[in-house]
Amino acid sequence: MDWLKELGRRIEMLLHRRQFSADLDEEMQLHLELRKQEQMERGMAPNKAHSTARRRFGNVTGIKEKSHMSWGWDWFEQLMQDVSYGVRGMLRSPGLTIVALLSLALGIGANTAIFSLMDAVMLRSLPVKDPGQLVLLGDGSEIGITDDFPNTALYSYPFYRQMQKKNAVFSDVAAVFSMRSDLHGSVEGHSETEPMAVQLVSGSYFPVLGVHAMMGRTLTEEDDQTKDGSPVAVVSYTWWTRSLARDPDVLHKKLRIGSTLFTIVGVAPAEFFGTKVGESPDIWIPLSMQKEIPPYFDAYSDNFGETLDVIGRLKPDVNMAQATANVNLLYQQILRGFPNAHMDQKSLEALKNTHVALTPMAKGLSDLRGQYSEPLKILMGVVGLVLLIACANIANLLLARSTARAREFAVRQALGARRSRLIRQLLTESLTLALAGGALGVAFAVGATHFLLRMISGGTETVPLDVSINIRLLLFTLGITLITALLFGTIPALRATQLDLTESLKDGRGPASGATKSPLARALVISQVAFSLVLLVGAGLFLRTLINLDNVNTGFNKENVLRLQTDTSSIGYKDDDPRMTQLYQQIEDRVRALPGVRAASYSSFTFDEGSWSGSIWVEGFNNNKDVNVPHNVVGADYFATMGIPLLAGRTFGPQDFGTNSPKVAVISETMARTMFPKGSAIGSHYGMDGPKHSGDVEVIGIVKDTKFQHLDEAPTTLDYLPYTEHPMYLEDFEVRYTGDFSAISSAVQTAIHGVSPNLQISDVTTLEEQVGRSITSQRLVAQLSTFFGLLAVFLSCIGIYGLMSYVVSRRTNEIGIRMALGAGRSNVRWLVMREILQLVAVGVAIGIPVALAGGHWIANMLYGLKATDPMSLAVAVVAMLLVAVVAGYLPARRASRVEPMVALRCQ
Amino acid sequence: MNRDEIPPGTLYLLILKTLALGGELHGYEIADAIQRTSDDVLQVEEGSLYPALQRMLIKGWVTAKWGTTAGNRRARYYQLTAAGRKQLTVEVAQFERVIGAITQVIQTA
């Protein structure tokens, strides 16, 4: 604690340093006078006494300085001096300062913004107890439900329970439903329904995470014992704020979801957003209630209703290898023990070869992470390069300025200033500039981050990610700011102080120094051009990838289709409600009758909405159950609505949608080709749920392949089933229309509400927009890399312009002589342009191999072209040359306008 | 009169001891006292007292307050703190150890 008190005294001295100086002066003065007096009393003459006193005292100024330094603040005072000197210097050349500050703010701000997204999506740990101990079974790569055997991505509830009971490596195990249920419900007593994002979790979920309720209690094992037994809910802090305005009486409220009333038992802490980054549920409900929550899965006691992510908390002394061994042993045991396991030879073989990998869960799960890790890393690289280019620019500006200050430094060095002291001063000036730029950059980043978040979100709602400014972020920004200052400040500082004293003093701006080739400044401009070229090539590749994806043939006609979602849970219909298919049909009929509507249909999916898939058995075909086919459950008009061409047979008609209609299916051409004997698909039968059912469904038609999950997927097997055959909860409703979207949109919504006044409608948009959302990450990369590529080129232009203006102004004299000797204006112009072209040519020559070498980093983010695409390269090179010529033209023209007489006189 | 420079590193010791004996003293008095008690043998470059006193203030070994001299002049008086007394015993012990060692070397014939 002594050092703390000492620091306190030092700071006190700093704050009252005038007083301390005056005190010291006074006591030293007293000392001198007393000594003089004493000498005089001994009979010495006054002036002799005076000099004796001084002699005995020593060097007054030196002692004062020594006393002053003993307080340890001299560095600080010098720093303040340097800072204020630097600021005054910058204010004297406002143009330069503004350019420098703006490029710094953009460079640092862009880095901060991209980093804050990276931090939120990829780097930050979950706000739970000891996140490092959490592991996930499998890799969390699938969502939804499957009966696949053996599967390591999703697990059934009975499996979770057995794992929890039998394992020896986890202190406890939790399970969480692999998707969020977005539904509409109401607070009891409120007449309006509102959107609610519900997450089903096991009773052990909160205890395993070590998350305690901010108010009330969290869910516990007692809530997760019997099916439908515990209608309770924990709400998020955000939901409590948004929907209940932080009503302190929240624990006495109930939620109505469908026909069930849930009692709110607790509010989760503000920082807790669940275990999936970017999903932030509003409400947590125990898995025991899953039958009441859309999609109404009834998998609570189904050994192969695999819907869950399973999370374990490692015991403190257990490592990953031990845990993996134990989990795999149990995985085999538990699956074999299920009585309804399909234990033929083939499945046993498959099970034996299946290995469950454990994934660290410290950062939570995230679908965003898979989608954006790579784009964010690429963008981080891009903005890093932009910042480097900005640094090169500022370094060049400072170099030019320090040449102008050569005389000042020469004088100071001649007067005894040490070189290290001057370098320190110049670095302090750079640092001041960088810090000011960094502060502006943070302000810029706050806006940019929210802009980026909107771009990522794609849909109507912003992804709930916490991208607010935090300490980590500020440290990152401070870090890059310091690095930036060193990068652009060091070389000019070293150069400026490295002087031939006599030369500089003799003539601060003689022709000799003016004609110096300044190889350093040239090298900086060349590297700017090279980096810019790399960024331009990248931007070109990403843009063309985006265009290629936009032009992919989807197999359906995405134009003139309106799509929206309805939520039948908002009117209390459950999965098996017979009224549901009637409702779909009524809505289809009502909408179809609207003017301007060509066709309308419900479906379980359109595009990029996940899938429901399962095994099929084809009659009379020695098939096996490894064939996993995605199903789309649709209305009669689906093919007309989506514009999917029929290839053979017929599509659905009203006769297929009766209560006793024979079971039929329409299949994709790939399915017809790969799963049925050649040419025989129409009229063949197949079935689900085992070989016994292989005669269930008749194939009545074959349609063209469509893209189903991604634009870049290979042609896929897919079958279409009438929704009367598979009554289920459908959300998607599509309308093919002609005319004005907004008019149709409101007519359709009115028609739906005419059928069912309280049915909640959401996400009304076009099919085209929905397809566009599936390439949000590609669009983000293409747009941002283009923006930053152009910014880089612009900065390089400033660099070229600045350097050439400087060179021209230094060579005015030479140009004057040339002109006096008869050189024409065009000659002079060419003289300057030639130099620029040389610089750019060297930059381009360096940039091309760098761009080609860097290509493999982005190869798997491209579609329809290679990283070595000659077209993109050529366009970038030409663009770079053109822009450079424009930037160089102004100084060249200025050079050609030099009046020989004026030029000669000005020396 | 023959005067010797004080051995390096002993200035703190001398000041601390002087203050321990003299109570509240100002800079001039400290210089005088060192010279007097050493029978005019030890001579401090008087000015060097002041940086030393500043450092001792930071260390918290002494405190200072303004008062009035006998000649009715304003002067800053220094006084030992508890930490200063402790430091004095440390410095004395250290000094004696060094001197003892030196003496031993000299007396070894």
Token representation of residue A848:
């091309």
- C-alpha–C-alpha distance, residues A549 and A543, integer Å: 10
Mean pLDDT for the stretch of residues A638-648: 95
- For position A620, what pLDDT does the model report? 75
Token representation of residue A756:
């069912």
The residue ranking higher by pLDDT, A899 or A328, is A328
Mean residue pLDDT across chain A: 88
- C-alpha–C-alpha distance, residues A305 and A158, integer Å: 9
Closest CA to A829 of A887, A880, A882, A891: A891
Mean pLDDT for the stretch of residues A756-785: 91
Contact list, A35 vs chain B (CB under 8 Å): 28, 46
Token representation of residue A47:
């002036």
DSSP state of A120: I
Question: Do the beta carbons of residue A200 and residue A177 sit within 8 Å?
Answer: yes
Smallest Cβ–Cβ distance between A27 and the set B27, B45, B58 belongs to B27
- For position A511, what pLDDT does the model report? 43
pLDDT above 70 (res A110): yes
Nearest chain B residue to A34 by CA distance is: B28
**Cβ-defined contact of A6 to B31 (cutoff 8 Å):** no
Contact list, B69 vs chain A (CB under 8 Å): 30
Label residue A623 by pLDDT band (50, 70, 90). low
Please report the number of interchain residue pairs, chain A to chain B, with beta-carbon separation below 8 angstroms: 69
Closest CA to A103 of A793, A804, A795, A880: A795
Q: What are phi and psi of A789, to 5 degrees?
A: -60, -45
Smallest Cβ–Cβ distance between A66 and the set B51, B69, B73 belongs to B51
Mean pLDDT for the stretch of residues A896-900: 80
Label residue A81 by pLDDT band (50, 70, 90). confident
How many angstroms separate the CA of residue B36 from the nearest CA in chain A? Answer: 14
- For position B2, what pLDDT does the model report? 52
- For position A386, what pLDDT does the model report? 92
- CB neighbours of B16 closer than 8 A, spacing ≥ 6? B56, B61, B80, B84, B87, B88, B91
Label residue A513 by pLDDT band (50, 70, 90). very low
Contact list, B55 vs chain A (CB under 8 Å): 70
**Cβ-defined contact of B27 to A63 (cutoff 8 Å):** no
How many angstroms separate the CA of residue B41 from the nearest CA in chain A? Answer: 15
pLDDT above 50 (res A515): no
Smallest Cβ–Cβ distance between A63 and the set B31, B47, B58 belongs to B47
How many angstroms separate the CA of residue B104 from the nearest CA in chain A? Answer: 35
- Summarised one tens digit per residue, pLDDT across range A179-201 is 899 888 999 888 888 889 999 99
Q: DSSP letter string over A500-554? A: -HHHHHH-TT-HHHHT---HHHHHHHHHHHHHHHHHHHHHHHHHHHHHHHHT---
Contact list, B47 vs chain A (CB under 8 Å): 28, 57-60, 62-63
Highest mean pLDDT: which of A38-42, A293-297, A644-648?
A644-648
- Summarised one tens digit per residue, pLDDT across range A801-830 is 888 887 887 788 888 888 888 888 888 888
Q: DSSP letter string over A659-689? A: TTPPPEEEEEHHHHHHHSSTT--TT-EEESS
**Cβ-defined contact of A58 to B51 (cutoff 8 Å):** no
Mean pLDDT for the stretch of residues A886-900: 83
DSSP state of A283: E
Question: Do the beta carbons of residue A747 and residue A740 sit within 8 Å?
Answer: no
- For position B3, what pLDDT does the model report? 58
Mean pLDDT for the stretch of residues A440-461: 85
Smallest Cβ–Cβ distance between A70 and the set B26, B58, B66 belongs to B58
- For position A510, what pLDDT does the model report? 45
- For position A287, what pLDDT does the model report? 95
What is the complex's ipTM, to 2 decimals? 0.89
- For position B4, what pLDDT does the model report? 64
- For position A189, what pLDDT does the model report? 83
- Summarised one tens digit per residue, pLDDT across range A321-350 is 999 999 999 999 999 888 877 677 777 888
**Cβ-defined contact of A70 to B51 (cutoff 8 Å):** yes
Smallest Cβ–Cβ distance between B59 and the set A6, A57, A66 belongs to A6
- For position A508, what pLDDT does the model report? 47
Using DSSP, state whether A864 is helix, strand or coil: coil
- For position A506, what pLDDT does the model report? 59
How many angstroms separate the CA of residue A63 from the nearest CA in chain B? Answer: 6
- C-alpha–C-alpha distance, residues A807 and A739, integer Å: 62
Smallest Cβ–Cβ distance between B50 and the set A9, A28, A69 belongs to A28
- C-alpha–C-alpha distance, residues A335 and A319, integer Å: 24
**Cβ-defined contact of B50 to A58 (cutoff 8 Å):** no
Mean pLDDT lowest among A69-73, A120-124, A744-748, B49-53? A69-73
pLDDT tens for each residue of chain B, 109 residues long: 455 667 777 889 999 999 998 889 999 999 888 888 887 777 778 888 898 999 899 889 999 999 888 888 889 999 999 999 999 999 999 999 988 999 999 988 6
Nearest chain A residue to B55 by CA distance is: A70
Mean pLDDT for the stretch of residues A599-619: 87
pLDDT above 90 (res A397): no
- C-alpha–C-alpha distance, residues A359 and A276, integer Å: 14
Question: Do the beta carbons of residue A128 and residue A273 sit within 8 Å?
Answer: no
How many angstroms separate the CA of residue B53 from the nearest CA in chain A? Answer: 8
- For position A459, what pLDDT does the model report? 65
The residue type found at A222 is E
pLDDT above 90 (res A68): no
Question: Do the beta carbons of residue A670 and residue A716 sit within 8 Å?
Answer: yes
Share of chain A above pLDDT 70, in %: 96
- For position A242, what pLDDT does the model report? 92
pLDDT above 90 (res A283): yes
Nearest chain B residue to A13 by CA distance is: B58
Token representation of residue A773:
């959302």
- Summarised one tens digit per residue, pLDDT across range A544-579 is 999 999 999 999 999 999 999 998 888 878 767 888
- For position A512, what pLDDT does the model report? 42
Mean pLDDT for the stretch of residues A838-845: 92
Smallest Cβ–Cβ distance between A63 and the set B26, B51, B60 belongs to B51
How many angstroms separate the CA of residue B102 from the nearest CA in chain A? Answer: 30
